[in-house]
Amino acid sequence: MAVIVAVAVDGHFPSGVDSPPTTAYHPSMKLADRLSTVAPSATLAMAQKARDMKAKGRDVVSLTTGEPDFPPPDHVIEAIHKALTDGYTRYTPVGGLPELVEVIRAHYANKGLSLASNQVVVSAGAKQAVFNVAMAVLNPGDEAVVLAPYWVSYPDIIRIAEATPVTAVGTQDDGFVVRPEVLDAAMTDKTRLVILNSPSNPTGGVYSRADLEATAEVLRRYPNAVIISDEIYDRFLYEGAEQISLLEVAPDLEDRTVVVNGCSKTFAMTGLRLGWAVGPKTLIAAMNMLQGQSTSNASAPIQMGGVAALTGDPGPVERMLAAFDRRRRFIVDKLRHFKGVTCFDPRGAFYAFPDVSGLFGKARPDGTVVKDADDLSDYLLEQYAVVVVPGAPFGAPNHVRLSYATDEDTLDRALTRMAEAFERLR
Ligand code: PMP
Ligand code: GLU
């Protein structure tokens, strides 16, 4: 099997996003050079496209954004209401309310990771936590290795920090797990950051204990690299898949590993913006300082919602996970029946990530040829009002991403329309 060696993804806007760069709105406005290589978030852009079409009255079925269609658990909503009436309306410590920091520490203590309170920083979402790590460790000219396919925002966050993203690619045949020799080929003495994400957005791949041991073996050879383990999908596991944290298999990497997580996915709190990072004291202090000079604390009542989420009845989360598992089986089974499509069986997160390259080169009913996943996504969007995210912004141009954090009726309608759309390709 050929080894896919790392490629720098320098300076290219992900295709499949047609939002104009910000400068287009104000031609006379000169913006910072650092924005010249940064693209808008493709997932958020596609979700906006779906909203715009809906507003125009189109019967849109959107499988774009990775956000549960469930509401947060009732006890979380109640805790937020109560926090408001109890006076949680003022600034909190930048890194989080002591109540929440304690609960986060207890959460990790249960997993065998003992943390001091100054090893925790609470942010307005996990995205901010990743951003703060990048800003705290990267200098211009540094390299940051992203295990691909990757969540769209990692390379752009790295570019905002004026460093260069480098990808190490895991293939569908390997369950989207990056082989150690591929990771090793991507790492250099300029690598200052490595980002792992298991379970993975967009693939649904989950790193096993053996995979993580092999990954850790490589990481040990690069002592200058800080590691982000983005574990935001750690509860979204199916068919016996296990969440293993890098630190469980490699506690010796603790002094340079930051674990990122949050409430957005597990507790269906995407719009409430609550995430955190835990890691080495010096780095957490730097992130705290950056946050103190940018956004300050995450919203105070939402932090109390986070306390309730992490300590409350797990029933609502379990019911949501059971629904997601049913949908996962439904969507994968349908996709596998489409000619020209192959689909990996995702064991984590809530995305299906089929390879649609078997449809490239075919003609649409109007005679135009579907060249790539961007074209295919446009065809689905324009002719069938089905919105998916093309794979290029995830570093996987042969794929499209479908979120099944979507109600069953919407999923069914989307898959029925896709079947018709694909059948009409010649
Ligand atoms: N990491 C991954 C892998 C994600 O998919 C997301 C989704 N938004 C985030 C981080 C950010 O989560 P949040 O909404 O808490 O910022
Ligand atoms: N992470 C989610 C997604 O991939 C939410 C949107 C975003 O922040 O990218 O769709």
Cα 127 to middle of ligand 1, angstroms: 5
**Which domain range does residue 132 map to?**
74-311
Ligand number, closest to the Cα atom of 149: 1
DSSP string, 198-254: SSPTTT-----HHHHHHHHHHHTT-TT-EEEEE-TTTT-B-TT-----HHHH-GGGG
Q: Sorting pLDDT into bands at 50, 70 and 90, what band is 423?
A: very high
Q: Looking at the structure, do residues 354 and 257 belong to the same domain, yes or no?
A: no
Residue 161 and residue 134 in contact, taking contact as beta carbons nearer than 8 Å: yes
CA 91 – ligand 1 centroid, Å: 24
Kindly state if the Cβ of 301 falls inside 6 Å of ligand 1.
Answer: no
Per-residue confidence (pLDDT) for residue 317, from 0 to 100: 98
Are residue 120 and residue 86 in the same domain, yes or no?
A: yes
Q: Are residues 166 and 218 in the same domain?
A: yes
Please state which of the ranges 47-51, 312-316, 332-336, 411-415 shows the lowest mean pLDDT.
Answer: 47-51
* Residue 366 confidence (pLDDT): 94
Distance in Å, CA 201 to ligand 1 centroid: 9
Residue 187 domain-assigned (yes or no) = yes
Q: What is the pLDDT of residue 21?
A: 47
Give dist(CA 246, CA 279) in Å, integer: 12
CA of 261 to the centre of ligand 2 (A): 14
**SS3 of 259, please?**
strand
Give the model's confidence band at 13: pLDDT under 50 very low, under 70 low, under 90 confident, else very high: very low
CB-based contacts of 212, cutoff 8 Å, min separation 6: 198, 244, 246, 248, 249, 250
Q: Indicate whether residue 268 lines ligand 1 (CB < 6 A).
A: no
The pair of three-digit structure tokens given for residue 406, joined into one six-digit string = 């979507």
Asked whether residue 199 falls in the same domain as residue 245, the answer is yes
Same-domain status, 276 and 351: no
Q: Which atom of ligand 2 is nearest to the CA of 42?
A: 9
CA of residue 252 to ligand 2 center, whole Å: 31
* Cβ–ligand 1 contact at 127 (below 6 Å): yes
pLDDT number for residue 3: 37
Has residue 18 got a pLDDT over 70? no
**pLDDT tens string 253-273:** 999 999 999 999 999 999 999
Are residues 136 and 110 part of one domain? Answer: yes
Is residue 172 over pLDDT 80? yes
Burial class (CB in 10 A: 0-12, 13-18, 19+), 382: exposed
Q: 231-251, pLDDT tens digit by residue? A: 999 999 999 999 999 999 999
The CB of 235 under 6 Å from ligand 1? The reply is no
| 331 plus 390 within the same structural domain | yes
**Same structural domain, 379 and 329:** yes
Q: To test the ligand 2 pocket, which listed residue (17, 43, 197, 351) has its Cβ within 8 A of the most ligand atoms?
A: 43
**Ligand having the closest approach to the CA of 50:** 2
How far away, in angstroms, is 35 Cα from ligand 1 center?
21
pLDDT at 32 over 50: yes
Distance 43 CA to ligand 2 centre (A): 5
pLDDT band at 47 (very low <50, low <70, confident <90, very high): confident
CATH of the domain at 146: 3.40.640.10
Name the band, by pLDDT with cuts 50, 70 and 90, for residue 12. very low
Does 251 share its domain with 396? no
Q: How many domains does the chain have?
A: 3
Mean pLDDT of 60-76: 95
pLDDT at 341: 97
In the chain, the N- to C-terminal Cα span, in Å, equals 32
Q: Which atom of ligand 2 is nearest to the CA of 65?
A: 10
65 Cα to the center of ligand 2, angstroms: 6
Mean pLDDT of the chain: 93
Residue-wise pLDDT for 273-331, tens only, equals 999 999 999 999 999 999 999 999 999 999 999 999 999 999 999 999 999 999 999 99
Stretch 219-240: mean pLDDT: 98
335-390: pLDDT as tens digits: 999 999 999 999 999 999 999 999 999 999 999 999 999 999 999 999 999 999 99
Tell me, yes or no, whether 35 lies in a domain.
Answer: no
Residue of 51, 63, 65 with the most ligand 2 atoms within 8 Å of its CB, for mutation:
65
* 294 and 219 together in one domain: yes
User: What percentage of the chain reaches a pLDDT higher than 90?
Assistant: 88
The predicted structure's pLDDT at residue 27: 67
Render pLDDT for 90-128 as a digit per residue (tens, 0 to 9): 999 999 999 999 999 999 999 999 999 999 999 999 999
At residue 1, does pLDDT exceed 70?
Answer: no
Residues flanking ligand 2, CB < 6 Å? 41, 43-44, 65-67, 127, 151-153, 201
Q: Is the CB of 132 under 6 A from ligand 1?
A: no
Residue 192 Cβ < 6 Å to ligand 1:
no
Q: Return the number of other C-beta atoms located less than 10 Å from residue 423's C-beta.
A: 10
- Evaluate if residue 65 carries a pLDDT over 50: yes
Average pLDDT over residues 203-215: 98
Asked if residue 5 has pLDDT above 60, the reply is no
Strands of the sheet containing 143-148, edge to edge, are: 7-8, 164-169, 143-148, 191-197, 226-230, 257-262, 275-278, 120-123
Among the listed residues 20, 21, 18, 49, the one whose alpha carbon sits nearest the alpha carbon of residue 33: 21
- What pLDDT, on the 0 to 100 scale, is given for residue 28? 78
For residue 382, is it within any domain?
yes
Whether 14 has a pLDDT exceeding 50, the answer reads no
* 109 occurs within a structural domain: yes
Ligand nearest the Cα atom of residue 403: 2
21 or 136, which is more confident: 136
pLDDT of residue 88: 98
Q: What value does the mean pLDDT take over residues 61-82?
A: 96
| Residue whose CA is at the smallest distance from ligand 2 atom 3 | 66
| Cα–Cα nearest to 47, from 69, 28, 75 | 69
Query: Is there a single domain that holds both residue 190 and residue 276?
Result: yes
CA of 261 to the centre of ligand 1 (A): 8
